[in-house]
A and B are shown apart, each in its own frame.
Chain A
Amino acid sequence: MEIVRSQRSRTNTPNDSVSTLPLYRYAPQLEVRLEDFEVFAMDRLRVLKGISDALARGKRPEEMENLVRDLWKANMRHPEASEDVNKDIISHFVLRLVYCRTEDLRKWFLSMETALYRYRFLLGSSEAKRALMEEFDLPCKAISRTEFENAKEKLEQVARSFDQPLPTADAIFYKVPFEEVPELVAGRRVYIHKGHAYVAMHQVVSLVVTQFRSNLSKALILTNRKWTSTIREQEKDRLTPIVEALSMSYLGPDYSQTKEFGEISIKDLDQLARSSFPLCMRHLFDKLREDHHLKHGGRMQLGLFLKGVGLRMEDALAFWKAEFSHKVGAERFDKEYAYSIRHNYGKEGKRTDYTPYSCQKIISSTPGVGDHHGCPYRHFSEENLRAALGRMGVGSRAMEDVVDKVRNRHYQLACTLTFEAVHSSSCDAGINHPNQYFSDSHKILQPKNNNAA
């Protein structure tokens, strides 16, 4: 791709012009104007950000499909219709440069681009789907009549388990090694036999998406190497500032660099838990006080949250030690648990400074037997949730709204409503991160405290 300043863009034959969904295999042989470089990228970023927000709010696949169609239409159309494909490809490659530079950026970009690809694939025609499958060179084979007859009963069982129409006599199924379709396997959405998964036509997207994801993941690593070794320096007066600015604008604060460490002390914790912790952290905190122990998932979720809140490592060690000592003794705490806390603060092992978990991460975790982490709006039974909310001081009117949101799987909205009820103040941005809940709460309550003093 050649970036030019003033010349009008000329289009040579773009790759993959036959199918509407490009494969993004190679950077196109095009000349791009510098303004377009930035504008195309920002338009695509709006689409990706829209997807990110929708996923965080737990939107259903059908809703996502519509959303993607609308977002794409609103942002990715070019005044010259024939230029649509170019804009698509160019914007993708520009964003690769922007998002290849750290592990977090890569992870986010990979997830959003994969989601985008999935829904665009689903929106395409059967013909387009089949054509794209061939281009992807997938390790799957259509099953024969006999194979179908032999597996028919099981295939019907699978279809029924998801309320899908039963496969007809001429239904096409692909036999694929099970490891190629991990998400279908995980959801028990396919019949598996002797290592092969029997994938229905409408599920084929999973295969395509897995390949896409894997290809993009590798490409991002390579792009990062090229960026660090040559491009960044070469382009320091032209593209580099644009690229660096683009990534800042769209990732919210991740609370990894707490500016004021030591602002929170141990003696404040009980009171803060009652006034400013979101339900997930309050539950963990209460359980810790009650049981003098938390399993690993809970220790991570609460521990990192407290770090984000501003608890210094020395205080954290003292706090956890005081609790755990009741159960396992101080010596054992030092031997077995202290390391883990220092690890969280980046003082051991890889020395990574771990970031507190966002709502998205917490909602998607899976607490098991004896665990108390995860999102209570998702995992608590309605009865337990009502009781917990009651203890937080949520009134009956608000409680009904919260429960309603939970029934519709809008866990973050439920938490936002809880926040609003408890603080008697609105939270327009919505809750995306437990530390955000805390800092917003703190902001509201602080001036009151100062006045009271």
Chain B
Amino acid sequence: MTKEESKNGSDDMLIDGPKQGNVIPDGFNPNYLKVYYGRLFPHADIFKWMSYGNDGRHPACDKSYFGRREFSFTLDNDIYLRFQSFNSESELENSIKEKCPSKIDIGPVYSVDPAKRHAYAQGGDNVFAPVERELIFDIDITDYDDVRYCCSGADVCLECWPLMTVAIKVIDTALRDDFGFDHILWVYSGRRGVHCWVCDGKARRLTNEQRGAIADYFRVYKGNENSNKKVSFPGPLHPFLVRSYTEVLREFFEEKLLLSQNLFSTEERYEKILSMIPDESVTSELRGKWQENRRSSNSKEDINFFRWEQLKNTLQSGKQKVQGLRRCVEEIVFAFTYPRLDMEVSKHRNHLLKAPFCVHPKTGRVCIPIDPKDCEELDPTTVPTLSELLRELNTGDSRMDVDNATLTLPMFFLVAEWEKTSLGKSIRFFRSSFLQPLLKSCKEEMESGYKAKIQQTKNSLSW
């Protein structure tokens, strides 16, 4: 039984949270969290990110900006604190260190400080409302349970994780090439999925309707256990789908997924694929071939690959009398491989999403950023865990004690704590690939916006 982790705002209350078992899993220990927040969690980077340049001294800086951002903390005994807000980096840092939340969520920037919302909530005019929020996506591998046979529910392995890699490639390319966004952060969710934060100014200012439109643009899979055909292409594909298919999906399906998931190896499995073909004559022809073929393994070729080729040939042979068959091959490939997004997460500005660099309480793994250009490199089974990181810290410290060479000692003090651990790589990546370019762009935007405003005032004052 899977549960979504999603938090929402004043409209609908979504409270499906993970159930804390009695066993504390390997790698996570609430006491370690204190050390983590004390020495490793990048408070300053999160603050700089969330300030989007408003923490500077330029006259255009909005000093109230950071204070209007909602954070929420989940404490150890499932106590949930919403509408937390802070006016400075130190306030944020101190609160995190003091409360030691097992999870930190980030919400939108509101029109006023969330702490003061009660003074404004009255009246149907919604004066307390979100004004900015990153465009976010949440992809969870449990949404693919009907097409992966290696695992189900909360489990993830190296056979099915590539589905996430593929999702990142498809969505990331579209966000950059189609929508023109530049400042995109992908994060491992800590257990079984990935999150995406699009931080361009334009993205942050999108309305709910516009976010819904983008989510719908990405939507292909439509269905649940009650409908048969979950992917349906009545006509030729849109350029975005064509590109996704030719650059990512087809190759992944044919060269990886077919084999790793053994999609045709048993009757139950191939029947599932046959149910996606709306033509009795085709399905019975294939079924006939496969039922008899079970005992004879004539070729060295893998049975999945072999049957897939047979299916393609049968569908693509001759004229297609039945309309629904034209793009059946693509429909099958998309049904298995195309990204499945949680629409609700993206559509509503007040939706909360877990902050990067949190530790997942079930797995102990840190929610580290993923480089979309290199996303195959991420192995969910080797992402640093909380206990590993603390061990690394201790090793680093003891090395410091043992090695009394005066040369290394001062160096050691100058180096940030996280540099001593495997978290270092992630934080460096976060800064160089994401934060610095983002802040540079914010600064430019702020300066040019300010100049334009000054010019406007000058013009209107001229006699």
> Quick one: given A194-B180, A332-B19, A343-B13, are A185 and B236 in contact (CB under 8 Å)?
no
Q: Are A182 and B340 in contact (CB under 8 A)?
A: no
Task: Please measure, in the bound complex, the distance between the C-alpha atom of A194 and the C-alpha atom of B181, giving whole angstroms.
Answer: 8
Q: Are A103 and B242 in contact (CB under 8 A)?
A: no
Q: Are A340 and B238 in contact (CB under 8 A)?
A: no
Task: Please measure, in the bound complex, the distance between the C-alpha atom of A103 and the C-alpha atom of B126, giving whole angstroms.
Answer: 11
Which of B208-216, B308-316, B354-362, B455-463 has 4 or more CB atoms under 8 Å from chain A?
B208-216
Q: Are B217 and A186 in contact (CB under 8 A)?
A: yes
Asked if A169 lies at the interface with its beta carbon under 8 angstroms from chain B, I say no
Q: Are A296 and B226 in contact (CB under 8 A)?
A: no
Q: Are B239 and A380 in contact (CB under 8 A)?
A: no
> Quick one: given A369-B143, A370-B2, are A379 and B226 in contact (CB under 8 Å)?
yes
Q: Which residues of A349-402 have CB atoms within 8 Å of chain B's CB atoms?
A: 349-350, 366-372, 376, 379-381, 383-384
Contacts of A185 in B (CB 8 A): 213-214, 216-217
Bits for B1-33, please: 1 = Cβ < 8 Å to A, else 0.
110100000101111110100000000000000
Asked if B286 lies at the interface with its beta carbon under 8 angstroms from chain A, I say no
Q: Are B239 and A178 in contact (CB under 8 A)?
A: no
Asked if B297 lies at the interface with its beta carbon under 8 angstroms from chain A, I say no
Q: Are A376 and B226 in contact (CB under 8 A)?
A: yes
Bits for A91-123, please: 1 = Cβ < 8 Å to B, else 0.
000000000001100000000000000000000
Contacts of A368 in B (CB 8 A): 143, 224, 340, 342-343
Task: Please measure, in the bound complex, the distance between the C-alpha atom of A178 and the C-alpha atom of B223, giving whole angstroms.
Answer: 27
Q: Which residues of A293-322 have CB atoms within 8 Å of chain B's CB atoms?
A: 293, 295-296, 300
Which of A15-23, A63-71, A155-163, A264-272 has 4 or more CB atoms under 8 Å from chain B?
A155-163
Q: Report the contact-size class of chain B (Cβ under 8 Å from the partner).
A: 35 or more
Chain A nearest CB from B77 CB (Å) reads: 10
Task: Please measure, in the bound complex, the distance between the C-alpha atom of A372 and the C-alpha atom of B213, giving whole angstroms.
Answer: 23
Q: Are A383 and B228 in contact (CB under 8 A)?
A: yes
Chain B nearest CB from A106 CB (Å) reads: 9
Nearest residue in A to B3 (C-beta to C-beta)? A328
Contacts of B228 in A (CB 8 A): 381, 383
Task: Please measure, in the bound complex, the distance between the C-alpha atom of A296 and the C-alpha atom of B239, giving whole angstroms.
Answer: 34
Q: Are A157 and B238 in contact (CB under 8 A)?
A: yes
Q: Are A161 and B238 in contact (CB under 8 A)?
A: yes
Asked if A202 lies at the interface with its beta carbon under 8 angstroms from chain B, I say no
Asked if A30 lies at the interface with its beta carbon under 8 angstroms from chain B, I say no
Chain B nearest CB from A185 CB (Å) reads: 4
Task: Please measure, in the bound complex, the distance between the C-alpha atom of A178 and the C-alpha atom of B1, giving whole angstroms.
Answer: 39
Contacts of A158 in B (CB 8 A): 238-239
Task: Please measure, in the bound complex, the distance between the C-alpha atom of A339 and the C-alpha atom of B228, giving whole angstroms.
Answer: 35
Residue of B206, B222, B235 near A161 (CB, 8 A) is B235
Choose among A192, A194, A371 the residue with the greatest number of B CB atoms under 10 Å from its CB. A192
Contacts of A277 in B (CB 8 A): none
Asked if B272 lies at the interface with its beta carbon under 8 angstroms from chain A, I say no
Asked if A274 lies at the interface with its beta carbon under 8 angstroms from chain B, I say no
Chain B nearest CB from A191 CB (Å) reads: 6
Residue of B12, B210, B217, B238 near A296 (CB, 8 A) is B12
Q: Are B180 and A296 in contact (CB under 8 A)?
A: no
Q: Are B125 and A379 in contact (CB under 8 A)?
A: no
Contacts of B143 in A (CB 8 A): 368-370
Q: Are B15 and A366 in contact (CB under 8 A)?
A: no
Chain A nearest CB from B74 CB (Å) reads: 12
Chain B nearest CB from A281 CB (Å) reads: 15
Contacts of A367 in B (CB 8 A): 224
Asked if A147 lies at the interface with its beta carbon under 8 angstroms from chain B, I say no
Q: Are A188 and B235 in contact (CB under 8 A)?
A: no
Bits for B325-362, please: 1 = Cβ < 8 Å to A, else 0.
00000000000000010110000000000000000000
Q: Which residues of A185-226 have CB atoms within 8 Å of chain B's CB atoms?
A: 185-188, 191-196, 221
Q: Are B226 and A384 in contact (CB under 8 A)?
A: yes
Q: Are A157 and B242 in contact (CB under 8 A)?
A: yes
Task: Please measure, in the bound complex, the distance between the C-alpha atom of A367 and the C-alpha atom of B213, giving whole angstroms.
Answer: 17
Q: Are B235 and A162 in contact (CB under 8 A)?
A: yes
Choose among B13, B19, B229, B343 the residue with the greatest number of A CB atoms under 10 Å from its CB. B13
Q: Are A193 and B177 in contact (CB under 8 A)?
A: yes
Asked if A179 lies at the interface with its beta carbon under 8 angstroms from chain B, I say yes
Contacts of A194 in B (CB 8 A): 177-178, 180
Residue of A179, A195, A343 near B210 (CB, 8 A) is A179
Residue of B12, B213, B340 near A186 (CB, 8 A) is B213
Asked if B158 lies at the interface with its beta carbon under 8 angstroms from chain A, I say no
Chain A nearest CB from B454 CB (Å) reads: 24
Task: Please measure, in the bound complex, the distance between the C-alpha atom of A295 and the C-alpha atom of B343, giving whole angstroms.
Answer: 14
Task: Please measure, in the bound complex, the distance between the C-alpha atom of A103 and the C-alpha atom of B125, giving whole angstroms.
Answer: 9
Contacts of B226 in A (CB 8 A): 372, 376, 379-381, 384
Q: Which residues of B contact A (CB under 8 A)?
A: 1-2, 4, 10, 12-17, 19, 78, 121, 124-125, 143, 145-146, 177-181, 202, 206, 209-210, 212-214, 216-217, 221-229, 235-242, 340, 342-343
Contact sample, A vs B, 5 pairs, CB 8 Å cutoff? A182-B210, A192-B178, A193-B178, A296-B16, A369-B223
Closest 6 CB pairs of A and B: A195-B180, A182-B213, A186-B216, A186-B213, A194-B180, A381-B228
